[in-house]
Structure 1
Amino acid sequence: MADYIHELRELVGHRPLILNTASGALLDEQNRVLLQERTGKNDWCFPGGYMEYGERIVETLKREFKEDSGLDVEPIRLLHVFDGDCFKYPNGDEVQCITNFFLVRKTGGQLLDHQTDETSDLRYFPLTDLPPFFNHQSEKMAQAVIDYLAQTKS
């Protein structure tokens, strides 16, 4: 069922919803992380998004990552499940996102070379020099990548 979130919003308006999401961290050879600049927002996040009704979480990850970045990915490892973050969008929609955050590897595709409804730019950033994030959960995701890399070094 496509566009599940918009159908829900038509029924409940801006009331708080608990929604499932999947996002991924893709690292390049220098361990820089790919981030997506959100269209019209001047802030950044990890490629990913909301689960559609009937999808499995890995399907959501792959679909959303492709939509946001143009890249095909496969999950390598579940880095963290974030479940306590509530957020109010500028339009008034309130959500609590349960986000499955994966380390991913590229399996195909090309980085988008044009703006879309959700993506205005894509760039790899050093984990020591990250841009302003969309929300606090994105900051925690970046920390999860940093923590994972620190654990794999020791």
Structure 2
Amino acid sequence: MAHPHLPTTESAVTALREIAREFNLEMTVTDDIGADQTSRRISSGAFAVLDADGTLPHEAFVELGGSPAMTVQLFPEDDAKINVDGVEFADVPRDAVPAFVRSVHRGLAYVKGKFFPPGWWLVVPLPGDETYKELVLRGTLTPWMSRQVR
């Protein structure tokens, strides 16, 4: 299943609001609009408000309540950083964010231990053979992660 294209940060935030309603999660959003406000300044000069192409870059930081604790930082460059119970998934394409969050809240995400390389991995499968996995740093599992061990 192809991801619906989310052309803007705002459309991704709207999709996350729908997921928050679907799973009855509290959600807070902090918006940073303008090149002088966003954390990445790739295509604009110092003190510029617009990007080089004349657009106003929009970045959003979304906190979702419930378990696991999740935050999503949406960047103007069509990607996001998702933090699940302290495990950071960087460079997630913005189009994959709704499926990623939905997968975690549907109970599809799981933790697996490996002997080599040693450690615990948080695995988030998405529809259509797409999977994200990150090492659980410090090797400590949160109570939510402990329930997801397979």
The bucket for the TM-score relative to the shorter chain is under 0.3
| TM-score of the pair, normalised by structure 2 | 0.25
* More strand by percentage: 1
| Bigger relative contact order, structure 1 or 2 (CA pairs below 8 A, ≥6 apart) | 1
